Amino acid sequence: MRAILWNYWRHLIYRPWYVVGFFILTATFAFVTGQSSFSKVEVPVYVEGMSSEETAKMLGYLNEHKRFDFQLMDQEEIETGLRQHEMDFAIALKQDDFRMLSSAETVDVNAVFTHLMMIYQEQQIYDQAADHLSISASDIRTEVDRRLANPAYKLEKQQAQEEKDFKYDQGLQSLFGFSLYFAIMTISFTVSMIVQEKQNGLWDRVMLSPLRKTQIYLGHLSYSFLLGYGQLALLFSFFHYLLGVNFYGGFPMALLALAPYVFAIVSLGVLLSSFVTNARQLDAVIPLVSTSMAMVGGAFWPLEIVQSSAMLFVSKFAPITYGMELLKGVTINQAPIHDVLFHAAVLFLMGVLFMGIGLNVMERKASS
Question: Lowest-confidence range among 86-100, 149-163, 326-340?
Answer: 149-163
Evaluate if residue 262 carries a pLDDT over 80: yes
Task: Tell me which fold the domain 40-149 belongs to.
Answer: D-Maltodextrin-Binding Protein; domain 2 (3.40.190)
Provide the percentage of residues in the chain whose pLDDT is more than 70.
84
Phi and psi angles of residue 248, each rounded to the nearest 5 degrees, phi first: 55, 35
CB atoms within 10 A of CB 67: 14
Burial class (CB in 10 A: 0-12, 13-18, 19+), 59: middle
pLDDT of residue 162: 43
* Dihedral angle over CA of 168, 171, 173, 177, nearest 10: 180
Tell me the pLDDT tens digit for each residue of 58-67.
888 888 766 7
Evaluate if residue 22 carries a pLDDT over 50: yes
Distance separating alpha carbons of residues 14 and 34, to the nearest angstrom: 33
Helix (H, G, I), strand (E, B) or coil at 43: strand
Distance separating alpha carbons of residues 109 and 115, to the nearest angstrom: 10
pLDDT of residue 327: 93
Average pLDDT, the chain: 82
Mean pLDDT of 94-105: 82
Q: Using DSSP bridges, classify how beta strands 41-47 and 98-102 pair: parallel, antiparallel or unpaired.
A: unpaired
Distance separating alpha carbons of residues 5 and 222, to the nearest angstrom: 8
Query: Quick one: which of 43, 92, 104, 101 has its CA closest to 69?
Result: 43
What does the radius of gyration of the chain's CA atoms come to, in whole angstroms?
Answer: 27
Higher-confidence residue of 80 and 164: namely 80
Helices (H), ranges, 244-278: 251-274
Q: Please, which pLDDT band fits residue 233 given cuts at 50, 70 and 90?
A: very high
The secondary element (H helix, E strand) that includes residue 70 is strand 68-72
For 296-324, what is the HEC assignment?
Answer: HCCCCCCHHHCCCHHHHHHHCCCHHHHHH
Where along the chain do its domains lie?
A: 2-35+167-367, 40-149
